[in-house]
Amino acid sequence: MRYEAPKTLEQAIALLSGANGQARVLAGGTDLLIQMRSGRAEPELLVDIKAIPEMRSIVAETGGYRVGAAVTCMELIENEAFAQAWPGIVDGVRLIGSIQVKGRATMGGNLCNASPAADSVPALIAAGAVVCIVGAQGRREALIEEFVAGPGKTTLANGELVVSFLLPRRGPHSGDAYLRFTPRTEMDIAVVGAAVNLTLDDTGVCSRARVSLGAVAERALLVPEAAAALIGTRVDEAALKRLAAAASAACRPIDDKRGTKDFRIKVAGVMAQRAAEIATERARRPS
Amino acid sequence: MARHHVSATVNGDGVEFLCETGQTLLEALRDELRLTGTKEGCGTGDCGACSVMVDGRLVCSCLMLAVEAEGKSIQTIEGMAVGETLHPLQRKFIEHAALQCGICTPGILIAARSLLARNPNPTESEVRYWLAGNLCRCTGYHKIVEAVLDAAREMRGG
Amino acid sequence: MSTMLKYQERELKIVGTRPLRPDGVDKVTGRARFGADYNLPGQLIGKVLRSPHAHARIKSIDTSAAQALPGVKAVVTRDDFAEMPDEYAAVGELMINFRDVTRNMMAREKVLYDGHPLAAVAAVSEAVAREALALIKVEYEVLPHVIDVVEAMQPGAPLLHENQYTAGVKPKPDRPSNVAKRLEYARGDLAAGFNEADLIVEREFNTKPVHQGYIEPQACLASCSEDGQAELWTSTQGHFIVRAQCAKVLQMDVSKIRVTPTEIGGGFGGKNNIYSEALAIALSRKSHRPVKMVMTREEVFRATGPTSGANVKVRIGCTRDGKITAAEAELNFQAGAFPGSSVNQASMCAFTRYDLANVRVVGNDVTVNRPKVAAYRAPGAPIAVFGVESVIDEMAKKLGIDPIEFRLKNAAREGTQTYYGPKLGPIGYIQTLEQARAHPHYSAPLGPNQGRGIATGFWFNIGNETTCSLNLQEDGTLTLMLGTIDVAGGSRASMAMMVAEELGIEFESVRPFVGDTSTLGFNFLTAGSRGTFASGMACVIASRQVIEKLRQRVAKIREVPLEAVAWKDGHARPAGGNVAQFAPMSLAEIAKMAGKTGGTIAGHAEINAQGAGPGFGTHIVDVEVDKQTGSVKILRYTVVQDVGKAIHPAYVEGQLQGGAVQGIGWALNEEYVYGDDGVLQNPGFLDYRVPVASDLPFIDTVIVEVPNPNHPYGVRGCGEVPIIPPLAAIANAIENAIGLRLCQLPFSPPRVLKAIDDAAAAKG
Amino acid sequence: MARIALASNLAPYTDGVLELELEVANVRQLFQALGERYPELRVHLEAGLAVAIDGEIYQDALLQPIAHDSEVILITKIAGG
pLDDT in tens, A68-99: 999 999 999 999 999 999 999 999 999 999 99
Q: Is the pLDDT of residue C14 over 50?
A: yes
Task: For strands A130-135 and A161-167, give the pairing.
Answer: antiparallel
Q: Give yes or no: residues A51 and A159 share one domain.
A: yes
pLDDT tens for residues C702-748?
999 999 999 999 999 899 999 999 999 999 999 999 999 999 999 99
pLDDT tens for residues A238-260?
999 999 999 999 999 988 888 89
- Please give the Cα distance from A103 to C385 (Å, whole number): 44
Mean pLDDT of all residues in B121-146 = 98
Distance from CA of C88 to the nearest CA of D (A): 7
- Please give the Cα distance from B6 to B15 (Å, whole number): 8
- Please give the Cα distance from A83 to C428 (Å, whole number): 56
Exposure string for B74-94, b = 16+ CB within 10 A, e = fewer: bbbbbbbbeeeebbbbbbbbb
Contacts of C692 in chain A (CB under 8 A): 184-187
CB–CB contacts below 8 A, B to C = 183
Helix (H, G, I), strand (E, B) or coil at B112: helix
Q: Is the pLDDT of residue C35 over 80?
A: yes
Question: Helix (H) and strand (E) counts for chain A?
Answer: 11, 14
Interface test with C, best of D3, D8, D43 (most C CBs within 10 A): D8
Say what the pLDDT of residue A195 is. 98
Q: Is the pLDDT of residue C345 over 80?
A: yes
Distance from CA of B3 to the nearest CA of A (A): 10
Task: For strands D71-76 and D2-6, give the pairing.
Answer: parallel
Mean pLDDT of all residues in C458-478 = 93
- Please give the Cα distance from B76 to A89 (Å, whole number): 32
- Please give the Cα distance from C312 to C695 (Å, whole number): 29
Q: Do A1 and B22 touch (CB under 8 A)?
A: yes
Which of residues 199 through 258 in chain C touch B, CB cutoff 8 A? Answer: 212-217
Confidence of residue B1 (pLDDT cuts 50, 70, 90): low
Provide the residue range defining the domain that includes A195.
Answer: 174-284
Q: Residue A103's closest chain B neighbor by CA?
A: B59
- Please give the Cα distance from C294 to C218 (Å, whole number): 6
- Please give the Cα distance from D22 to D20 (Å, whole number): 7
Exposure string for C372-385, b = 16+ CB within 10 A, e = fewer: bbbbbbbbbbbbbb
H or E segment and range at residue A212 = strand A206-214
Give CA D62 to chain center in angstroms.
10
Which CATH number covers residue A98? 3.30.465.10
pLDDT tens for residues C182-197?
999 999 999 999 999 9
Which of B55, B50, B57 is closest to B133 using CA atoms? B50
Whether the predicted model's global pTM rises above the 0.90 cut: yes
- Please give the Cα distance from A99 to C404 (Å, whole number): 43
- Average per-residue pLDDT for chain A: 96
Say what the pLDDT of residue C530 is. 87
Q: How many domains does chain A have?
A: 2
Question: Are the C-beta atoms of residues C238 and C272 closer than 8 Å to each other?
Answer: yes
Count Cβ atoms below 10 Å from residue C98 Cβ, excluding itself.
17
Which CATH number covers residue A229? 3.30.390.50
- Please give the Cα distance from A71 to A163 (Å, whole number): 10
User: Bridge-partner residues for A154, per DSSP?
Assistant: A148
pLDDT tens for residues C497-535?
999 999 999 999 999 999 999 999 999 988 888 888 999
Q: Give yes or no: residues A194 and A93 share one domain.
A: no
Q: Is the pLDDT of residue C1 over 70?
A: no
Which member of C34, C267, C693 has the closest CB to residue B131? C693
Question: Are the C-beta atoms of residues C499 and C543 closer than 8 Å to each other?
Answer: yes
Read off the amino acid at residue C136. I
Which of residues 17 through 46 in chain B touch C, CB cutoff 8 A? Answer: 20, 30, 34-44, 46
Question: Are the C-beta atoms of residues B60 and B51 closer than 8 Å to each other?
Answer: yes
Which member of C628, C689, C754 has the closest CB to residue A183? C689
Which member of D48, D73, D74 has the closest CB to residue C95? D48
Q: Per-residue DSSP letters for C437-482?
A: HHSHHHH----TTEEEEEEEEEE----EEEEEEEEE-TTS-EEEEE
Say what the pLDDT of residue C89 is. 67
**CATH no. for D2-61+69-76:** 3.10.20.30
Task: For strands C56-62 and C631-642, give the pairing.
Answer: unpaired
Contacts of C694 in chain A (CB under 8 A): 184-186
Residue spans of the domains in chain D: they are 2-61+69-76
- Please give the Cα distance from C254 to C236 (Å, whole number): 17
| C-alpha distance from residue C693 to each of C90, C225, C488, C700 (Å) | 37, 46, 19, 15
Question: Are the C-beta atoms of residues A159 and A71 closer than 8 Å to each other?
Answer: no
- Average per-residue pLDDT for chain C: 95
Count Cβ atoms below 10 Å from residue D73 Cβ, excluding itself.
24
Give CA C557 to chain center in angstroms.
49
Count Cβ atoms below 10 Å from residue C398 Cβ, excluding itself.
11
ipTM for the predicted complex: 0.95
In a domain? residue A124: no
Say what the pLDDT of residue D12 is. 85
- Among the CATH numbers 3.40.50.1370, 3.40.1440.60, 3.10.20.30, 3.30.565.10, which is that of B4-79? 3.10.20.30
Count Cβ atoms below 10 Å from residue C164 Cβ, excluding itself.
18
Question: Are the C-beta atoms of residues A180 and A192 closer than 8 Å to each other?
Answer: yes
Q: Do C215 and B38 touch (CB under 8 A)?
A: no
In a domain? residue A147: yes
Q: Is the pLDDT of residue C94 over 60?
A: no
Say what the pLDDT of residue C93 is. 47
Q: Do C528 and D77 touch (CB under 8 A)?
A: no
- Please give the Cα distance from D48 to D75 (Å, whole number): 9
DSSP A215: S
- Do chains B and D have 3 or more beta-carbon pairs under 8 angstroms? no
Q: Do B101 and C488 touch (CB under 8 A)?
A: yes
pLDDT tens for residues A151-209?
999 999 999 999 999 999 988 999 999 999 999 999 999 999 999 999 999 999 999 99
- Please give the Cα distance from A15 to A23 (Å, whole number): 8
Alpha helix locations (H) across chain A?
A: 9-17, 32-38, 73-77, 80-85, 87-94, 99-102, 107-112, 121-127, 224-228, 237-250, 261-284
Read off the amino acid at residue A90. V
Per CATH, which fold does B88-155 belong to? DNA polymerase; domain 1 (1.10.150)
Read off the amino acid at residue C231. E
Helix (H, G, I), strand (E, B) or coil at C712: coil
| C-alpha distance from residue B39 to each of A97, B29, B61, C75, C159 (Å) | 19, 10, 9, 28, 41
Residue ranges and CATH numbers for the domains of chain C are 2-32+463-609 (3.30.365.10), 437-454+614-763 (3.30.365.10)
Say what the pLDDT of residue A212 is. 98
DSSP B3: P
Question: Are the C-beta atoms of residues C625 and C738 closer than 8 Å to each other?
Answer: yes
Question: Are the C-beta atoms of residues C351 and C190 closer than 8 Å to each other?
Answer: no
In terms of phi and psi (left: phi > 0; alpha: psi -120 to 50; beta: otherwise), the region of B157 is: left
Q: Do B51 and A104 touch (CB under 8 A)?
A: no
Contacts of C347 in chain D (CB under 8 A): 9
- Please give the Cα distance from C275 to C280 (Å, whole number): 10
Confidence of residue D1 (pLDDT cuts 50, 70, 90): confident
pLDDT tens for residues C248-304?
999 999 999 999 999 999 999 999 999 999 999 999 999 999 999 999 999 999 999
Q: Do A183 and C749 touch (CB under 8 A)?
A: yes
- Please give the Cα distance from B145 to B122 (Å, whole number): 11
| Percentage of the residues of chain C whose pLDDT score is greater than 70 | 99
In a domain? residue A121: no
* Diameter of chain D measured on Cα atoms: 38
Confidence of residue C109 (pLDDT cuts 50, 70, 90): very high
The answer to whether C92 faces chain D, any CB pair under 8 Å, is yes
| Percentage of the residues of chain C whose pLDDT score is greater than 90 | 90
Confidence of residue C88 (pLDDT cuts 50, 70, 90): confident
Q: Residue C349's closest chain D neighbor by CA?
A: D78
Q: Residue C167's closest chain D neighbor by CA?
A: D12
Contacts of C525 (CB under 8 A, 6+ apart): C92, C236, C237, C238, C240, C241, C272, C484, C485
Contacts of C31 in chain B (CB under 8 A): 37, 78
